[in-house]
Structure 1
């Protein structure tokens, strides 16, 4: 089931990245809860790490497939860009909050995805993921339903190290 979800995630990442000419992603290696992946897109390579939540709430709603990823696109000068991908449309103009231990990071939303509102905070979020004990993501669906997800940070440092030299 986990592998099937990750394969779906790979397809979704490509679709949302607008990569029509990309090759299918290749899983480089799995590091506990985090997998490292890469694919060729045009003239450049894209690498990313991805995980699925270990818990979702509320339990009585269909969340669809939920992912958190950190991508690296050297050809576009993008390094370690965190993104939350939901299996449903997010409420327009809402914010997604990522909490690692006691530190909050705010993300802006578009469609079913969210990115760090202040790009200067991306390195701090990634650093917190590497050293943190617990990560949660809180969002609001287009219908107004508050949702929350908890992720394991086990393996994130090794997975990020694996894509460090993406070229």
Structure 2
């Protein structure tokens, strides 16, 4: 099941890349709950780490495929960009909140994805992920349904270390 979800995630990620010039992602290595991947796109190599939630709420709705990833795109000068990807459209102008231990980070939404509202906080979010014990993500679907997800942070540091030298 985990491999199926990761395969779906890879297909979704490719849809955001320049599909005509992108190659299929390659899994570099799995580190507990986090996998490290790379592929080549028109702008160069893209590397990322990705995980799926260990718990989803509410239990009575179809969440689709849910992922949290951190990507590196050296060809676009993007380093360690966190992103939440939902299996549904997010409510317009809503915020997604990532909570790691006692710290909260606000993400803006577009379509089914969310990114850190203040890009200057991206390194702090990644550092919190590396040193954190628990991570949760809360969002609101286009229909207004509040959702929440919990992620394991086990393996995040090793996975990020694996893509550190992405070129």
Q: TM-score range by the shorter chain?
A: over 0.9
Displacement of 1:21: 1.5
Matched ranges for 1:101-140 at <5 A? 101-140=101-140
Displacement of 1:42: 1.4
Distance in 2, matches of 1:52 and 1:19, equals 23
Which deviates the most, 19-28 or 101-110? 19-28
TM-score (norm 1): 0.98
Matched ranges for 1:9-158 at <5 A? 9-158=9-158
Q: 1:18 to 1:144 in 2, by over 3 A?
A: farther
Gaps of 5+ in 1: none
Distance in 2, matches of 1:5 and 1:156, equals 18
Displacement over 2 Å in runs of 4+: 16-20
Say whether the 8 Å CA contact 2:18–2:41 is kept in structure 1: no
Distance in 1, matches of 2:100 and 2:15, equals 28
Distance in 2, matches of 1:43 and 1:89, equals 27
- Helix, strand or coil: the match of 1:20? helix
Q: CA RMSD, aligned part only?
A: 0.7
Count of aligned positions: 167
Distance in 2, matches of 1:137 and 1:25, equals 25
TM-score (norm 2): 0.98
Gaps of 5+ in 2: none
Per-residue CA distance 1:38-81 (angstroms, 9 max, x = gap): 00001410000000000000000000000000000001000000
Displacement of 1:18: 4.4
Distance in 1, matches of 2:43 and 2:118, equals 28
Displacement of 1:6: 0.2
